[in-house]
Amino acid sequence: MASSPSTAPAQPFEPARISTGVPGLDDVLFGGLPSGQMYLIEGDPGTGKTTLAMQFIMEGVRNGESALYITLSEPRSELQASARSHGWDLAHLPIAEFVPAEASLSPEQQYTVFHPSEVELAETVRKLTLLIDERRPQRLAIDSLSELRLLASDMMRYRRQLLALKQFFAGRDTTVLLLDDRSAEGSDRQLQSIAHGVIHLEKVQRSYGATRRHAEIIKLRGSAYREGFHDYTIIRGGLCIYPRLVASEHEAAFPPDKLSSGLPTLDSMFGGGILRGSSALVVGPTGCGKSSICMQYAFAAAQRGERSIVYAFDEGVRIAIDRAHALGMNVQQEIDRGTLAIFQVDPADLSPASSLGASAVTSNSSIPAWSSSTASTAISTPCPASAISPSTCTSCSPISIRRALSPSSP
């Protein structure tokens, strides 16, 4: 009896991915967006949809890809002004404007026999398809779908038109971003079902402090991604997303030695020092020296040539430096040498992810030391810079030291 030929196990299919051009978003998407698909970027006005789409288009131009940004709502001049405010080169942002001309506002241009949805929608879609066939872009952004929704006048016509556009893009190897400001009543689930992937941007109003912004991947067909909410900010230069930190994904190899504080009597209390890679919570009432102990460990590490960061929540950087000098720690010398950095963090203005991510990327620290006057628990995590760019952190030796008021403290 002949034996059946052995078959090799099928390898999992991994679609080709392209970079979004948004710092942190490619990490959330595990490498970028699968190419050749249509994606929905949804969010209320002011969440950064247009900015994200422009970064996506410019990333394609920088990589030598043909790209096009089609605007149905904002005039080209406003988009170019927004790009200049971010310091971007307008040559890297090809824009096609589909805003109605001034002549369309005259009475002669108003439709009286046919409903606008029967004329304007068909004409707009026809011009879109002709332009896309002419340019053949590899990356395309359409801003925004609310204009098509208004022209369609009813949801059935709108959905059928979107399905027709999806079929039009099929086989053209074009990665499309559709922007939607969620102006329709309720959540547009139909639009989410049509798109290959959905990225949701939202602003969270708080009773105090700055508005928080969250990004979430609602779906991404056939691809893995980092689930959950991810903080992001809009700064000069565009969106910056801070992926949700997962401790198990950021393990780093480091020697299992003990770190000295530079004070022999303090080290003897820990049997020679704090174990590298561990966490320590310094608890005590006001004035017992919690901040001084944290600064001592950071200063000793900096003197050994190991980079360290101190986050101060309740006092300014200048005060922290002066107090350290008064205790015989010349921290300014280590700051100038690049082995020590001190950041003042305002919890009312920054989210935990953005405060850790931004300062960690700036300093490329190896020993983050927290100093806070609010009660908290210890954290054990590698350098947060690896969450933004794995190549940023080259020699992690994480120790997180927090000081906290005891429950009996005022």
Helix (H, G, I), strand (E, B) or coil at 368: strand
Considering 18-32, 108-122, 351-365, 385-399, the range whose residues carry the highest mean pLDDT is 18-32
Backbone dihedral angles phi then psi of residue 72, each to the nearest 5 degrees: -110, -5
Mean pLDDT of the chain: 79
| Three-class DSSP labels, 154-204 | CHHHHHHHHHHHHHHHCCCCCEEEEEECCCCCCCCHHHHHHCCEEEEEEEE
Residue 403 has a pLDDT of 33
d(CA 236, CA 244) in angstroms, rounded, equals: 22
Task: Say how far apart CA 296 and CA 259 lie, in whole Å.
Answer: 12
CA 400-406-408 angle, to 5 degrees, is 175
Task: Name, in order, each residue with C-beta under 8 angstroms of 262's C-beta and a sequence gap of 6 or more.
Answer: 296, 299, 300, 303
| Token digits of residue 176 | 């499309």
Answer whether residue 33 shows pLDDT above 70: yes
Q: What is the pLDDT of residue 410?
A: 32
Q: Assess whether the region 17-244 and the region 248-405 belong to the same CATH fold.
A: yes
Distance of CA 215 to the CA centre of its chain: 7
- Token output for 259: 């770190």
Edge-first strand listing for the sheet containing 175-180: 95-97, 67-71, 139-143, 175-180, 38-43, 197-204, 212-220, 230-235, 238-242
- Asked if residue 203 has pLDDT above 70, the reply is yes
Residue 5 reports pLDDT greater than 70: no
Give the list of residues 6+ apart from residue 137 with CB closer than 8 angstroms, or none.
66, 67, 68, 174
pLDDT of residue 127: 85
Q: What is the largest CA-CA distance in the chain?
A: 92
Reported as a pLDDT band with limits 50, 70 and 90, residue 160 is confident
| pLDDT attached to residue 398 | 32
Superfamily of domain 248-405: P-loop containing nucleotide triphosphate hydrolases (3.40.50.300)
Within 10 Å of residue 291's Cβ, how many Cβ atoms? 22
Q: Select the more confidently predicted residue: 294 or 122.
A: 294
Q: Which CATH architecture has domain 17-244?
A: 3-Layer(aba) Sandwich (3.40)
Task: Provide mean pLDDT across the span 263-278.
Answer: 90
Q: What is the pLDDT of residues 293-321, one digit of tens each?
A: 999 999 999 999 999 999 888 888 999 99
Highest mean pLDDT pick, 60-69, 72-81, 104-113, 304-313: 60-69
Structure tokens at 352: 């935990």
Per-residue pLDDT band for 73 (boundaries 50, 70, 90) equals confident
Q: Answer whether residue 397 shows pLDDT above 50.
A: no
Render 245-301 in DSSP notation, one character per residue. Answer: P-GGG--------EE--S-HHHHHHTTSSEETT-EEEEEE-TTSSHHHHHHHHHHHH
pLDDT at position 78 is 93
- Would you list the domain boundaries of the chain? 17-244, 248-405
In this predicted structure, what is the pLDDT of residue 26? 95
321-377 pLDDT per residue, tens: 999 999 999 999 999 999 999 988 877 777 766 665 544 433 333 334 433 333 222
Collect all residues with Cβ–Cβ distance below 8 Å to 189 and sequence separation of at least 6.
Answer: none
